[in-house]
Amino acid sequence: MAIGIYTNLYKDNDLSVTKAVIELLNSAKIDFCISQSLKQFFPQCQTYEKENFASLELLLTVGGDGTILNVARQCIENNVPILGVNKGTLGFMAEIELGKLDGIIDVIKNGEYKIDKRSLLCAEYAGQIYLALNEAIVYRRDTKMLTVDVKIENQLVDKYSCDGFIVCTPTGSTAYSLSAGGPIMSPTVNAMCLTPINSHSLHTRPVVVNADEKVQISVCRAYENPVLIVDGVEVTKINLNENLYFYKSDKALSFIRLKDSNFYNKLLSKLNIWGLTEN
């Protein structure tokens, strides 16, 4: 078995972090292989293919949370855990910060880690099911608001006039939902959060529901066909008065965490960084 390396070339544009990671792995005599996108920069390294991806011990990503989202589906389907090196802005899901790259060796060679399983969300529409690690969003295509009916187990929650509507996992609670005014949820909570985007009402608030419940959303008014966006990718257009369903998947995505990793310490650190104004 080998370690896979996947790099976001936009985030690590000079490949300095990727080179440092490769040097660390070589010095520790740890087998690794790289993605096809890195082959031109490291022609001496072996690459992993779609056919042997499932044999990877773990996938080491260099980038931010968006980088992890890019490879999440492949890792879910092949049961490959992710160890993220943070080269992004915040990196809530990444585990290794740039100043602590040596921690990679502790994790891989010495087995000093724990597994963090993150729940996934199913977004179902027109017979198709889309998996989300962060969130699924019903969103407008123009400058006009949508009107959506939201139900849980066929019971009306509310009718919202808004720019869009977010259904997120606990992992996604620190992503778009947080920016839209949603609460932060511990990743261990069995829940989903329903967050309207710019709702035209003084009484609407985000709602946290049990993840074992099924959420039903239908768009009853829109000027153009709205869209369903899953983890930042537009997956389909939505017709008026057709139901979308959201519920917890029976699959999960595994992350490698350092033994002393603590969600709340990371949260405080990241939110303090988020609160700073860039020059």
- Per-residue pLDDT tens digits for 243-256: 999 999 999 999 99
- CA-closest candidate to residue 131, choices 79, 74, 49: 74
**Residue among 12, 31, 65, 158 flagged as catalytic:** 65
CB 24 within 8 A of CB 92: no
- Supply 188's token pair: 């261990």
Q: Is 119 left (phi over 0), alpha (psi -120 to 50) or beta?
A: beta
CA distance 249 to 5: 27
Q: What is the pLDDT of residue 202?
A: 84
Q: What is the pLDDT of residue 275?
A: 65
pLDDT > 70 in the chain, percent: 97
Helix (H, G, I), strand (E, B) or coil at 107: helix
> Is the C-alpha dihedral spanning 60, 65, 69, 75 positive or negative?
positive
Q: What is the pLDDT of residue 268?
A: 86
DSSP bridge pairs for 3:
32, 58
- Per-residue pLDDT tens digits for 135-146: 999 999 888 899
250 carries an active-site annotation: no
Helix (H) or strand (E) holding 114, with range, is: strand 113-125
CB 66 within 8 A of CB 58: no
Task: Spell out the residues 6+ positions from residue 27 whose beta carbon is closer than 8 angstroms to its own.
Answer: none
- Per-residue pLDDT tens digits for 189-243: 999 999 999 999 888 899 999 999 999 999 999 888 899 999 999 999 999 999 9
| Average pLDDT value over all residues in the chain | 93
Residue 59 has what DSSP assignment?
E
Considering the entire predicted model, what is its pTM?
A: 0.92
Q: How far apart are the first and last CA of the chain?
A: 45
Domains of the chain, first to last? 3-112+259-274 (3.40.50.10330), 120-250 (2.60.200.30)
Q: Confidence class of residue 31 from pLDDT cuts 50, 70 and 90?
A: very high
pLDDT over 80 at 91, yes or no: no
Q: Confidence class of residue 182 from pLDDT cuts 50, 70 and 90?
A: very high
- Per-residue pLDDT tens digits for 34-69: 999 999 999 999 999 988 999 999 999 999 999 999
- Supply 212's token pair: 């074992």
**70-79, 95-104, 140-149 — which one is most confidently predicted on average?**
70-79
pLDDT over 90 at 1, yes or no: no
* H, E, C per residue of 246-276: EEEEEEEEEEEEECCCCHHHHHHHHHHHHCC
- Per-residue pLDDT tens digits for 125-136: 999 999 999 999
CA distance 109 to 102: 11
pLDDT over 80 at 276, yes or no: no
